[in-house]
Structure 1
Amino acid sequence: MSRAYNFSPGPAALPEEVLRQAQAELLEWNGERASVMEVSHRGKAFMALAEESEADLRDLVGIPADYAVLFLQGGATQHFAQIPMNLAAPDRSADYIVSGAWGEKAVREAAPYVGVRVAATSEASGFTDLPPRADWQLDPGAAYVHVTSNETIHGVQFHADPDVGDVPLVADMSSDILSKPLDITRYGLVYAGAQKNIAAAGLVVMIVRRDLLARRPVGLAKILDYAEHAAQGSLLNTPNTFGWYLAGLVFKWLKVQGGLAAMGERNHAKATLLYDAIDGSGGFYTNRVAPAARSWMNVPFTLPRAELDAAFLAESKDAGLLALKGHKAVGGMRASLYNAMPVEGVRVLVDFMRDFARRHG
């Protein structure tokens, strides 16, 4: 067996050290003589894991006590609908900033539960840039403002925390959470599907200001109520125990790497290496995203002729570079550079790209 460099947008690569530890502990975990997937989620061993993983995440991000940390299920898409259920009364509106396909989906899923206002969108540019802040038409009476911090399909990312005044800022950070320092106090609620930078698919990590939990409407089913999950330490029902365990391992791995500041420097360096190769290819490779909005996590690029795509994908796979096919909405290629992707993998990709351009240019 030989592991390749996996550029998948999600489910994405996990740190090899984490996978090896999970492999070693799969049959017998923590002296329990059983797998972590087989022990009670209400037993002392798993509850200790839950507390330790939350403490590590709080330490990594710098999460103050007035924020709750939740380990939930459903994927981010479920929470596109569940967030307005919890944060907005039926007669309230919420502002959405749309910078790509996932922002559009968030709007569609929220619409049955809140009066959605698209306060800004970059659709006219083909989502190749962020909506200019001066163009945002925000409602000071909105229940919240929603942004997608990084768009995996279009490769657009916020590199600064948006200023939305006193209205709570809600962010889908599924594809860039823990990739750089985060000032959580600028946000009312942050949520992330785990399958890109945290753990395996099926887990959602949420950080929410506690005062917002009081907004829940009367009659909301307990399983949908974030306040109920917070009150039960995310153990209201049987959680994704294996995903939670993997998240805890990743949090410890991140601390060993030097924390979020170190990861931010590393991720910026990886992205710069790849963008420099694209921009320096003499037009063989093209990235259409405005430079200031380019994502450090997901780098889409096209070749000069679409008929070269199949050869690029076949040859890159043979070279040990996986999952480089772009999303059908954009076409071309896409390299996802999440935390687990080492800089060596990006160097191998860049070398391959240069050789491919030399042979096919």
Structure 2
Amino acid sequence: MTRIYNFSAGPAMLPEEVLKQAAGEMLDWHGSGMSVMEMSHRGKEFISIYEEAERDFRELLNVPANYHILFLQGGGLGENAIVPLNLLGRKEQPATVDFIQTGSWSTKSLNEAKKYGNVNVAASSKDAKFTAIPARDTWKLSKDAAYVHICTNETIDGVEFQYVPDVAADTNGAPLVADMSSHILSRPVDVSKYGVIFGGAQKNIGPAGVTIVVVRDDLVGKALPICPSAFDWKLVAENQSMYNTPPTYGIYIAGLVFQWLKRQGGVAEMERRALAKSEMLYGYLDSTGFYRNTIARDCRSRMNVPFFLNDESLNESFLAGAKERGMVQLKGHKSVGGMRASIYNAMPIEGVQALIDYMKEFEKKHG
């Protein structure tokens, strides 16, 4: 069987090396006589898997000791509710959350937060069709917000923060909360500049079903009374992410990915590869009039590259030809149309080159 190049935005491709290891351990993990899927989450076998995964993640992202690392369920969308449920208790009710609206995911986040408190859209690029990040000097932050929320990489729209916004001076120290679902572990992060970082696993980490939350110690224990116990960060932290049964197999695969990342050279090497892959693809898109990318150059995503054919009547033909050549999931999100190439850590540079070669061939045929 020949492996395809899967450009899906998530669930996304995993490193082949990881899949082979998981296949080899499927029936018998390290002589235990059972699969990881069959293990008790409280047994010593799984506890060792969990502890290694947590330790490797902390090392890869250089997470300071005063931050908890939590493995939860619910995905990024679920965390859009779990975050305000855990942080709005920091302030007298009704509390306010500041949002920087930069695309579809930050919009989903702010709409969810409205159910639990007040929302101030401090800045928005909606009028620009989410093709840029609002300039920092245009942000109208509240003086007493419970937190400030950003999505550092918009999976659907293809914009990415290339800097960490300093908001504390404008907000009386309100913590910065970042949804990093689609670019976590693809670039170094100064975790100390954030109060909370979260991300769904199904893009750069592992299979769907796991959400990782990195939360500073002082922000734990501030949940609203209506927060479900299974999502209360204090209870989850106190029980080593096992207050309820965690997604054990997903954590195991995530742990294998963390080990793979370390063997590759860690996050610094992933950033080098991400730059090489994205610069190749954007370089070609900028060189042709047959395709176009509409994102401002200073905030183009390295992970999710949306593009359009100028003649959109050719879209289906383009996708069919790509599939014939072993490249799938290039169709853009239904809300924006066009195409999208998601080039996460597991996508080799050969996959990006194959896509560019095909795009050139298609342009030559139809241009």
Match of 1:80 in 2: 80
**Matches of 1:110 and 1:202 in 2, distance apart?**
22
**Matches of 2:148 and 2:321 in 1, distance apart?**
44
Match of 2:285 in 1: 278
What is the Cα deviation at residue 309 of structure 1? 0.5
Match of 1:342 in 2: 348
Match of 2:335 in 1: 329
**Matches of 1:356 and 1:91 in 2, distance apart?**
55
2:298 to 267, 292, 295: 292
Amino acid at match of 1:304: N
Q: Deviations over 1:94-127 (max 9, x none)?
A: 1011100111100111111121111111001000
**Matches of 1:269 and 1:188 in 2, distance apart?**
31
Is 1:133 the equivalent of 2:116? no
CA contact (8 A) 2:318 2:362 kept: yes
Aligned partner of residue 174 in structure 2, secondary structure: coil
**Matches of 1:15 and 1:162 in 2, distance apart?**
32
1:195 to 191, 202, 205: 202
Is 1:215 the equivalent of 2:222? yes
CA contact (8 A) 2:209 2:250 kept: yes
Match of 1:151 in 2: 154
**Matches of 2:246 and 2:16 in 1, distance apart?**
24
Unpaired segments ≥5 residues, structure 2: none
Amino acid at match of 1:185: S
Runs of 4+ deviating beyond 4 Å:
none
Match of 1:12 in 2: 12
For normalisation by structure 2, the TM-score amounts to 0.97
**Matches of 1:129 and 1:21 in 2, distance apart?**
40
Match of 1:238 in 2: 245
**Matches of 1:183 and 1:200 in 2, distance apart?**
25
Q: Deviations over 1:293-338 (max 9, x none)?
A: 1000000111121111011000011011111011122111110010
* Aligned-pair Cα RMSD in Å: 0.9
Unpaired segments ≥5 residues, structure 1: none
**Matches of 2:335 and 2:226 in 1, distance apart?**
39
**Matches of 1:219 and 1:301 in 2, distance apart?**
42
Is 1:23 the equivalent of 2:23? yes
Percent identity over paired residues: 51
Between stretches 326-335 and 6-15, larger displacement belongs to 326-335
**Matches of 2:21 and 2:32 in 1, distance apart?**
16
Match of 1:92 in 2: 95
For normalisation by structure 1, the TM-score amounts to 0.98
Aligned partner of residue 54 in structure 1, secondary structure: helix
**Matches of 2:343 and 2:137 in 1, distance apart?**
30
**Matches of 1:287 and 1:197 in 2, distance apart?**
23
Between stretches 188-197 and 161-170, larger displacement belongs to 161-170
What is the Cα deviation at residue 11 of structure 1? 0.5
Aligned partner of residue 72 in structure 2, secondary structure: strand
User: Structure 1 302/220 Cα, relative in aligned 2: closer, same or farther at 3 Å?
Assistant: closer
Aligned partner of residue 38 in structure 2, secondary structure: coil
Match of 2:262 in 1: 255
